[in-house]
Amino acid sequence: MAETNFKWLTCAGILCCLIWNGFAQQGGSDCIKANAKSCGECIQAGPNCGWCKKTDFLQEGEPTSARCDDLAALKSKGCPMEDIENPRGSKQVLENREVTNRKKGAAEKLKPEAITQIQPQKLSLHLRVGEPQTFSLKFKRAEDYPIDLYYLMDLSYSMKDDLENVKSLGTALMLEMEKITSDFRIGFGSFVEKTVMPYISTTPAKLRNPCTGDQNCTSPFSYKNVLSLTSEGNKFNELVGKQHISGNLDSPEGGFDAIMQVAVCGEQIGWRNVTRLLVFSTDAGFHFAGDGKLGGIVLPNDGKCHLENNVYTMSHYYDYPSIAHLVQKLSENNIQTIFAVTEEFQAVYKELKNLIPKSAVGTLSSNSSNVIQLIIDAYNSLSSEVILENTKLPKGVTISYKSFCKNGVNDTQEDGRKCSNISIGDEVRFEINITANECPKKEQNETIKIKPLGFTEEVEINLQFICECQCQSEGEPNSPACHAGNGTFECGACRCNEGRIGRLCECSTDEVNSEDMDAYCRRENSTEICSNNGECICGQCVCKKRENTNEVYSGKYCECDNFNCDRSNGLICGGNGICKCRVCECFPNFTGSACDCSLDTTPCMASNGQICNGRGTCECGTCNCTDPKFQGPTCEMCQTCLGVCAEHKDCVQCRAFDKGEKKETCSQECMHFNMTRVESRDKLPQPGQPDPLSHCKEKDVDDCWFYFTYSVNSNGEANVHVVETPECPSGPDIIPIVAGVVAGIVLIGLALLLIWKLLMIIHDRREFAKFEKEKMNAKWDTGENPIYKSAVTTVVNPKYEGK
């Protein structure tokens, strides 16, 4: 029994797996739809596709592309795991220095390049199409990190009073920045406008002194690098103190030219690989790309350094840079921009800030007296946010970010690139997911870089694409297995040379449509090519594919399939077998054309342990009762039979009590069972014994109840256990019955009298109430009789005066 149940459970498990697999492939396998002709094409079809390189894997008529399928399908078709090519992607960390932990004022003085804020620094990813590779990136703001600050100032005439306050900026700013870092350098540059009309007046006098009246102004210029970055605040004050205001004609200034040169002229400015801040101070708007046409300048800005003697010399030759061009160069050179502008132009520069990552806008007072506090606030704002950016991705490669910031704040998509409200010493983490959706045409390796905006540190990622299988490198060119060397035998199949086709490259493309070849694709005595289920290629049938990729044609002439077998309960082979060439191959314990006949006898087992209660045979898991009187799942019911109790009642009565209808013939008709007498009903056999048992309660000729059990053992012997004393009912007690009847009659009479009396009282009360109501409503007429005359007549003497 245990073994039978185990086999049944095993078959059920296999059935569930097959049904699940069929549903999984119902919509069509992407692997099969790819129609891959080689292992390389197969693994590019999807991350779950594998290629079976077993030489004899394909059935006759199956195309080479049938070697490509999902792993579960390949295993179910008989391909061993060691013969399945399924390369997986991987990652390898090549450089992984820990982020720097140090405190401001510590004894160790690290060089900027020795400070690490991002981890890891370099890694390699092996990418398979459709399979993402994920790695974690850690960022930690280092304390006492060096800062380079370059102050770029508008020296047009409207900034005259601002220049006076900036002249002492060097030492004052140095003192403030010492609270943030012990390694601070400052530089200074100035700008006005392009030195052509209509931006400035080109008359000789105006070129010498563009200001009016007695103002002593310097000649107009586009951009000057007055002081390269230095740690000497006094030198800043000294050189800036020698600067003079200049002038121009229009209101917008040429500040974009100056920003471009500051960004790209790293050697002249003296930028280090540290935090780079550019403070842009002005009280006017800006010219941008296209405005140069007003001065006849049409060449786009080339984004290169053109400083000679610290002066920009090509302002008359190149147009202003565009905003996008500036964004690119500022990002490439890791420069964070602070726009210190007056209240009037706040709106304009805030819009510009939205276009330039890692930039800030501060409100400059009319005379720049608040510039130091403005710089400190802007720096704190910029440094409290980290935003990751990546270089241009190769075609078909996608990247996604997920951030794990302070206080459990997590974000994805575009917001997953950044974390805000970061303080010095805080550590944040990013989860980066890189996926290749296709292989590059040249299959070369690619390199991308990820870095935090405004920081010089970056993560270098080498991308290596998995576009071929390992077995392809072991291929045999011009292999004899491919029809005398007409192809390369690799991964268990032939990859044909150009101009050759067929599973074994046995045909040239010129022979494909030959009628002689078609003859090899017809079955004997048939005119159908490949049974109308395929194409004849090189004299061999290549079976066509069905929309449901789980349904397959096969055979030399595509005459076989795995979906036209007999069905049961709507399932091919009843779900209990596999359809091969339109014939069901049943699982163990099943038989029949549709595998719908179970050989398991468990459903036929009766409660007494006998198959079909000994009254039939078990066929396909169902009892076929041999005695037509019996029916039911185990032949246990007989609608036309007397019950066991009624059938044996007379024999038990005559043998146990020597009475009943068979008293005279008892010894002849009632000796077919063994009888045992017991004292009471409790002594009778109880349910649970192996032999089928019937409990009986019958009346004898004296209307007494007697109890017995009837059972048949495995040897066919009948056994009866009978209670030796019948239960006879006692006669009725007359006195209580008569007394009860009399008492009942009396009680019923009294009840009727009480009811009558109650009804009469209710009726009288209703009549009296009705009388009282009528009496109250009566209206008696109190008027006098109109024909009535009183008997008394009173006469008064008119002359009587009462005297």
The pLDDT, as a whole number, for residue 15 is 39
328/280 Cα distance (integer angstroms): 17
797/803 Cα distance (integer angstroms): 12
CATH homologous superfamily, domain 90-100+114-143+388-466: ntegrin, alpha v. Chain A, domain 3 (2.60.40.1510)
Q: What is the fold of 644-723?
A: Hormone receptor fold (4.10.1240)
80/54 Cα distance (integer angstroms): 8
750/652 Cα distance (integer angstroms): 55
> What is the identity of the amino acid at 97?
R
**Sorting pLDDT into bands at 50, 70 and 90, what band is 277?**
very high
pLDDT in tens, 54-84: 888 887 777 788 888 888 888 888 899 999 9
pLDDT at 301 > cutoff 80: yes
Question: 79 vs 27, which has greater pLDDT?
Answer: 79
pLDDT at 801 > cutoff 80: no
Q: Which of these, 87, 42, 88, 89, lies nearest to 69 by C-alpha position?
A: 42
Query: Is there a contact between 460 and 119 (Cβ–Cβ < 8 Å)?
Result: no
Domain with CATH 3.40.50.410 in the chain: 147-383
Over residues 502-517, the mean pLDDT reads 70
Domain with CATH 4.10.1240.30 in the chain: 644-723
The total of other beta-carbon atoms located within 10 Å of residue 97's CB is 12
**Sorting pLDDT into bands at 50, 70 and 90, what band is 269?**
very high
**DSSP assignment of 694-748:** EEEEEE-TTS-EEEEEEEE-TTS-EEEEEESS-BPPPPP-HHHHHHHHHHHHHHH
The pLDDT, as a whole number, for residue 402 is 93
> What is the identity of the amino acid at 648?
H
> What is the identity of the amino acid at 41?
E
Domain with CATH 2.60.40.1510 in the chain: 90-100+114-143+388-466
> What is the identity of the amino acid at 228?
S
pLDDT in tens, 308-356: 999 999 988 999 999 999 999 998 898 999 998 888 889 999 999 999 9
Sign of the dihedral through C-alpha 232, 238, 241, 242:
negative
Q: Which CATH number is associated with domain 567-598?
A: 2.10.25.10
307/310 Cα distance (integer angstroms): 5
Query: Is there a contact between 121 and 460 (Cβ–Cβ < 8 Å)?
Result: yes
Query: Is there a contact between 85 and 51 (Cβ–Cβ < 8 Å)?
Result: yes
pLDDT in tens, 679-733: 888 888 887 666 667 788 888 888 888 888 888 776 667 888 999 888 887 767 7
729/669 Cα distance (integer angstroms): 30
Element (H, E) at 148: strand 147-154
Alpha helices in 39-159 (DSSP H): 39-43, 71-76
89/506 Cα distance (integer angstroms): 36
pLDDT at 171 > cutoff 70: yes
The pLDDT, as a whole number, for residue 367 is 66
Question: 448 vs 607, which has greater pLDDT?
Answer: 448
pLDDT in tens, 416-473: 888 988 888 888 999 999 999 998 887 678 999 998 888 888 899 999 999 889 888 8
Cα angle 345, 338, 382; round to 5: 125
Query: Is there a contact between 287 and 252 (Cβ–Cβ < 8 Å)?
Result: yes
Query: Is there a contact between 216 and 156 (Cβ–Cβ < 8 Å)?
Result: no
pLDDT at 757 > cutoff 90: yes
Tokens of 283: 């009280």
The pLDDT, as a whole number, for residue 21 is 43
Domain with CATH 2.10.25.10 in the chain: 567-598
Query: Is there a contact between 691 and 712 (Cβ–Cβ < 8 Å)?
Result: yes
Average pLDDT, the chain: 83
pLDDT in tens, 128-155: 999 999 999 999 888 888 899 999 988 8
What CATH architecture is 147-383? 3-Layer(aba) Sandwich (3.40)
22/773 Cα distance (integer angstroms): 93
The pLDDT, as a whole number, for residue 8 is 40
The total of other beta-carbon atoms located within 10 Å of residue 223's CB is 27
